[in-house]
Chains A and B, each alone.
Chain A
Amino acid sequence: MTINVLLIEDDPDVTETIISVLQNFIEDVEIENIIDGKGFRQGLWRNKEWALVVLDIMMPGITGFEVCEQIRHFPGTKNVPILALTGYDTVQNENRIMASGASRYLAKPFEINDFLRETKALLKG
């Protein structure tokens, strides 16, 4: 069964790394990438059933907190695990994204082992 992962991230370096990690270490994974608020607001993500959402807190046009809340608000995705990422690691950001509905939180730059551990845990759960 294909594992659908929604990657909401604007930075190409991070996007490519995450795609590489997922494709190299998790079998049968399909990834879709939304790069900004405009892409997210189009709402195409609502048409698919996601196994995991990987979300950057800071990106153009929309904040990760808002994205998180909207995903949780939509019935089709309200229970999907969300792994939040941030390049600006503060206690405030962590508390806020967790309050917005994220399942886990990881600071950039992460080591792939940590990323995989979190991802696998979320996919299993």
Chain B
Amino acid sequence: MSIRKRLIVFLFFIATIVTMMGGLLILGAPIFVNAFRDSLAAMESLSYIRELKSHVSRQKTSINRFILLDDNQELLSFEEATALTNRVMQDISNDKNAKAWITDLKSYVSDAHRISSQIITLCKRGDKQRAIDEATSQLFPKFSKLTDSILALENKKSAEAQAKYKTAKALGEKTGTTVFGVFAFALIMGIFVVRSLYASLMKPLEKLRKGTEEFGRGHWDHKIEIPSNNEFGLLANSFNHMAENVKSLQQQAIHMDRMSAVGQLAGGVAHELNNPLTGVLGQTQILLAKTNQADPVFHQLKKIEQAALRCKKIVRGLLDFSRPSQTKFEDVDMSNLLESTIDLCEADLKSAKITLVKKFSSALPKVEGNPSELQQVILNLLGNAIHSMSRGGGTLTLETFAAYKKLVFADRRKGSPPQEVQGDWVQIIVKDTGVGISKEHLNHIFEPFFTTKEIGKGTGLGLSVSVGIARKHGGDISVESQGLNKGAIFFLILPVKGNSGYPPGGLKQIP
């Protein structure tokens, strides 16, 4: 899964948890609060009833004592208890929750108070016996009823309050359990999600860090292995490609460096050799001019001359190799150049019994380059092909076409990564059916002084010079051979000058 998807999932998860918790609170809290409030209200009613009970009890005791003992203190106590009873009754009346059960109570209280007033009046008049009778027959039964009623109510309200408290408690516990459950679920899931996210971020990051460290130490062979297709996998691939390219460039740089050093050496040696060689060749030719052909010395001199001429050719090759780059570029029609170069090889082709097959593109775009240098490259490739078929003949196929976009040369060379270069290219293929190139030679044929030709036939500089020229032109040369006696194919690629005007689809892709 890509990191982006993982992050989205993570954020979605967080949002879900937050929504669940929020929803739970919004929906659950009012239910719990209401239940709690109901429970509180029931408790409050109960406390009113209990207060009433105590005041009524005090009323009863006080009036009883007042009647029996005629103690004014008891009367004051009774009046105080009555005032408190009235106040509690008033409080209950104001409480809308209590109104439902107050009606009966009110009548009992007012009856009790009315009778109490009569008895007190009787007592104050001194009619104690009648007061006792009234209290016994009227007041105490009233108080008993009142107390019973209050007790019944207390029981009822107590049960109610307990029930409501239980409901609230149960609801509270339920809410608590649910919240805890959701929280625990979120915590466990969160740990999993974060762990997976952490693993998916940190493991590849660690691999990338180690990989870049390896690259930093110059170990360009190192591969960052991240099998996933996500962003890290792609990043690792990019790093690996970069490393491959750096390695390839490094190898190229080493090669160029070696070429340059060899070039300087070759240039110096060639220059130093040219002076004595002028003496050898010049003096020999003077002697040859003076000697009769019939003279046996003549042939020996001729041999010296031939040897000197061969030296001249070798030194020439060395100089070509070391020659500083020439900047005079012009538009070159590679088809014309190929035709004129084939003309130069006509005799060699005939003597080696080689069949020439030409597959030239009729509309090859021009390239920008130095015609004589490019001809040198073609001549070298043709010369090598002819030489490879010099025993027993064969077929030389020359093909040209314009190619678009994909330059895959580097990957033909062992160990080099494929390189894609955008643009228009002219490709020239030189294919022979000659002796081929063995696998171990394939990697060396572009190196200076590498040759498989017998002594005196090659300097080992042709291909390295040709590659140098092709690269100077922004192109390249690569080779393919299935092995000994299986022929060889050389690919020369050169960039088209400017835009060739060919539509991308109209050009053949380099295979």
The chain A residues found within 8 Å of chain B, CB to CB, are 11, 13-14, 16-18, 20-21, 24-25, 58, 87-92, 107-113, 115
- Pair A112/B308 contact, Cβ less than 8 Å: no
> Interface size (B, Cβ < 8 Å)?
28
Chain B residues with Cβ below 8 Å from A20 are 282-283, 286
Interface of B is mostly: helix
- Pair A109/B324 contact, Cβ less than 8 Å: no
B276 within 8 A of A: yes
Q: Which 4 A-B pairs have the closest CB atoms?
A: A13-B279, A17-B282, A87-B274, A11-B275
Residue pairs across A and B with Cβ atoms less than 8 A apart, 17 shown, are: A14-B275, A14-B278, A14-B282, A16-B279, A17-B282, A24-B290, A58-B271, A88-B270, A88-B271, A91-B326, A108-B274, A109-B282, A109-B312, A109-B315, A111-B281, A112-B282, A112-B285
CA distance A107 to B272 in the complex (A): 13
CA distance A112 to B280 in the complex (A): 11
CA distance A17 to B279 in the complex (A): 5
- Pair A21/B274 contact, Cβ less than 8 Å: no
- Pair A88/B279 contact, Cβ less than 8 Å: no
Chain A residues with Cβ below 8 Å from B308 are 109
B319 within 8 A of A: yes
CA distance A107 to B271 in the complex (A): 11
CA distance A24 to B495 in the complex (A): 53
Chain A residues with Cβ below 8 Å from B468 are none
Contact status of A87 and B282, CB under 8 A, knowing A24-B289, A24-B290, A109-B308:
no
- Pair A92/B324 contact, Cβ less than 8 Å: yes
B84 within 8 A of A: no
Chain A residues with Cβ below 8 Å from B487 are none
CA distance A14 to B283 in the complex (A): 10
CA distance A95 to B163 in the complex (A): 118
The chain B residues found within 8 Å of chain A, CB to CB, are 267, 270-272, 274-283, 285-286, 289-290, 308-309, 311-312, 315, 319, 323-324, 326, 328
- Beyond contacts A17-B278, A20-B282, A20-B283: 7 other A-B pairs, Cβ-Cβ < 8 A, are A13-B275, A14-B278, A25-B289, A58-B271, A90-B324, A109-B312, A112-B281
CA distance A88 to B282 in the complex (A): 18
- Pair B283/A109 contact, Cβ less than 8 Å: no
How near does chain B come to A63, taking the closest CB pair, in angstroms?
14
- Pair B285/A109 contact, Cβ less than 8 Å: no
CA distance A112 to B286 in the complex (A): 7
Instruction: Among A17, A108, A110, point to the contact of B283 (Cβ < 8 A).
Output: A17
Chain B residues with Cβ below 8 Å from A91 are 326, 328
CA distance A109 to B280 in the complex (A): 9
- Pair B275/A87 contact, Cβ less than 8 Å: yes
CA distance A108 to B324 in the complex (A): 18
Chain B residues with Cβ below 8 Å from A108 are 274-275, 277-278
Most buried by B among A16, A25, A87, A90: A87
CA distance A108 to B312 in the complex (A): 9
Chain A residues with Cβ below 8 Å from B277 are 108-109
CA distance A16 to B312 in the complex (A): 19
Nearest-CB residue, chain A, relative to B315: A109
Chain A residues with Cβ below 8 Å from B270 are 87-88
How near does chain B come to A125, taking the closest CB pair, in angstroms?
23
Chain A residues with Cβ below 8 Å from B280 are 13, 109
Chain B residues with Cβ below 8 Å from A14 are 275, 278-279, 282
CA distance A89 to B324 in the complex (A): 11
CA distance A115 to B289 in the complex (A): 14
- Pair A112/B289 contact, Cβ less than 8 Å: yes
CA distance A117 to B308 in the complex (A): 20
- Pair A13/B276 contact, Cβ less than 8 Å: yes
CA distance A88 to B311 in the complex (A): 15
Chain B residues with Cβ below 8 Å from A109 are 274, 277-278, 280-282, 308, 311-312, 315
- Pair B285/A88 contact, Cβ less than 8 Å: no
- Pair A90/B278 contact, Cβ less than 8 Å: no
Nearest-CB residue, chain B, relative to A17: B282
Chain B residues with Cβ below 8 Å from A111 are 281, 285, 309
Instruction: Among B272, B278, B282, B319, point to the contact of A89 (Cβ < 8 A).
Output: B319
How near does chain A come to B118, taking the closest CB pair, in angstroms?
148
Chain B residues with Cβ below 8 Å from A113 are 285
How near does chain B come to A117, taking the closest CB pair, in angstroms?
13
How near does chain B come to A55, taking the closest CB pair, in angstroms?
14
How near does chain B come to A32, taking the closest CB pair, in angstroms?
19
Most buried by A among B285, B308, B312, B319: B285
Chain A residues with Cβ below 8 Å from B272 are 87
Chain A residues with Cβ below 8 Å from B323 are 90
How near does chain A come to B279, taking the closest CB pair, in angstroms?
3
- Pair B282/A21 contact, Cβ less than 8 Å: yes
CA distance A13 to B286 in the complex (A): 14
CA distance A90 to B327 in the complex (A): 12
CA distance A87 to B270 in the complex (A): 8
CA distance A25 to B287 in the complex (A): 12
CA distance A112 to B281 in the complex (A): 8
- Pair B278/A110 contact, Cβ less than 8 Å: yes
